[in-house]
A = this chain, B = another copy of it.
Amino acid sequence: MFNDASTEEIELAMNEAWAAFHVYRKLPLAKRAEFMKTIAFELENCGDALIHTAMSETNLPEARLRGERGRTIFQLNSYAVACEKGDWLGASIDTAIADKVPPKPDIRKMLVPLGPVVIFGASNFPFAYSTAGGDTASAFAAGCSVVIKAHPAHIRTSQMVAGAILLAAEKCNMPKGIFAHIHGASFETGKALVTHPHTKAVGFTGSYTGGKQLFDWGNQRKEPIPVFAEMGSINPVFLLPEKLKNAAAEIAQLYAGSITLGVGQFCTNPGLIIGIESEALQIFINELGKTIQKITPAPMLNPGIAGAYVKNKANALLQEDVHLIAASEIVSKENDGLPAIATATGQTFLNNPVLHQEVFGPYSIVIRCKNMAEMIEVAKHLEGQLTATLMATDADITDNDELVESVKNICGRFILNNVPTGVEVCLSMHHGGPFPSCTDSRFTSVGADGIKRFARPIAFQNWSNHLLPDELKNENPLGIWRTVNNELTRSVV
């Protein structure tokens, strides 16, 4: 239906993105915010047609897609507000001290955009992490132009969203090239975009294989560029002894829901649950198994993902000393993701790296540790994670400092007595984590701080006040927060 972009089309898109960047980056924050809010409006304006197109391409239910579009609109609007508010700019002013030896010059700093950003959307979020998703909103807020590589799994949805963005660009008189939508199912299209000299940053949400490849291409360029790839994780959940004893059945209910939410197709899906051998753990396992058996299978995003789930789950279950606890017993249709729970001992998990890998879908493995020492051992041997969760009483926390600290050290979001699924869009959210959950643990792809991925500081030295950007002028015409001689303030200088 859509052909892969030709080399000439990619060249044109990147050249126009480069030209547009030099116009767009100079526009006031308020103009960027207006553009983002207009995109949000146009997305809403796409009406039911957009929802129905996404339903037909992704198998996701209507309510979920309406919710996800709402979330995407909220992201665009809230990052627009953050963009204009300007806290993210890190504006800082050190005034001159003429009688210092040597004299201290006037120095003022703020963030400026990196340049055109190439974005690869996710298959599992056709709106929120795709064409007009969080990466696009972050890049526009930063002052960058955007080139999207459309995800082949929801290409008509992507095309409609791109249309909404282009309409918003027209309404807001944005420069030609501020946004481009590139088709390409092939390896070559992605490579051409990441390695193009005008590309100055990359955003990606998806698999480890895909993200790591983009990261490597980005670093191997003559001029390396930052590639922020969120590559998912297995999101370990630690069941601490007192809490488990108090609430084994309730936790099992809670997690049966989290494991199977959205057919397990979230990067924050809890794929690993760790407990200590005990009567309580057995109650938890039994209850989780019973609940999973009664969960109705639902279709996965597409046959490719459904096929990969069957294959990866089978491979996990084939590993030595891994046992199936339960699977859904409700009749399933082709391409449904059948919920399933397995179990293994701590030693089995520690010895087999295959069990550390994500199985994308409604699957989780319960690890039975001999004792707390082995649970700590498991925590210390885990790779970087987007999230990690403790199910714990206060006493569990205070009595097990080594475990708590070990878990904290490997995750980007640290959850207590809650589930990892559900990523709230707010400034305090961190969606990222140590490698391999993402390629740079210092940045987030959810929340307005995600803007900082696509911006760099510049310091102005010895500039006259009237020649400075408004953000740094003495009189603070934008009324933003700034650090003036080491003190945060909104006052004039």
Contacts and interface: CB of A to CB of B under 8 A. Distances in A.
A488 B483 contact: no
A458 B422 contact: no
Report the copy number of this chain in the oligomer: 2
Contact of A461 (B109, B413, B460): B413
B94 A426 contact: yes
A87 interface: yes
A4 interface: no
Interface stretch (A132-140, A188-196, A404-412): A404-412
A444 B110 CA distance: 12
Interface stretch (A306-314, A317-325, A433-441): A433-441
A38 to B, nearest CB: 22
Interface residues of A, number: 74
A219 interface: yes
A462 B412 contact: no
Given A412-B457, A462-B415, A94 B427 contact: yes
A3 interface: no
A467 B416 CA distance: 10
Contacts of A463: 414, 416
Interface in A335-356: none
Contact of A457 (B444, B459, B467, B486): B444
Interface in A442-461: 442, 444, 449, 452-453, 455-461
A424 interface: yes
Interface string A168-182: 000000000000000
Interface in A360-383: 383
Contacts of A434: 223, 456
A107 B300 CA distance: 30
A418 interface: yes
B483 A457 contact: no
Contacts of A22: 405, 409
A184 interface: no
Contact of A486 (B215, B413, B427, B432): B427
Contact of A26 (B112, B405, B413): B405
Contacts of A483: 87, 427-428
B459 A413 contact: yes
Nearest to A442: B456
A192 B140 CA distance: 41
What 10 A-B pairs come out closest when comparing CB atoms? A430-B459, A441-B456, A94-B428, A418-B462, A107-B428, A92-B428, A94-B426, A415-B461, A413-B459, A109-B428
28 contacts: A22-B405, A26-B405, A82-B486, A87-B488, A90-B449, A92-B428, A105-B418, A107-B429, A223-B383, A223-B384, A223-B434, A224-B435, A226-B440, A394-B466, A408-B458, A413-B458, A413-B461, A414-B463, A416-B461, A417-B462, A418-B461, A418-B462, A428-B483, A430-B459, A432-B456, A442-B452, A444-B457, A449-B457
Interface of A: 22, 26, 82, 85, 87, 90, 92-94, 102, 104-105, 107-109, 112, 114, 215-216, 219, 223-226, 383-384, 394, 397, 405, 408-409, 411-418, 422, 424, 426-430, 432, 434-436, 439-442, 444, 449, 452-453, 455-464, 466-467, 481, 483, 486, 488
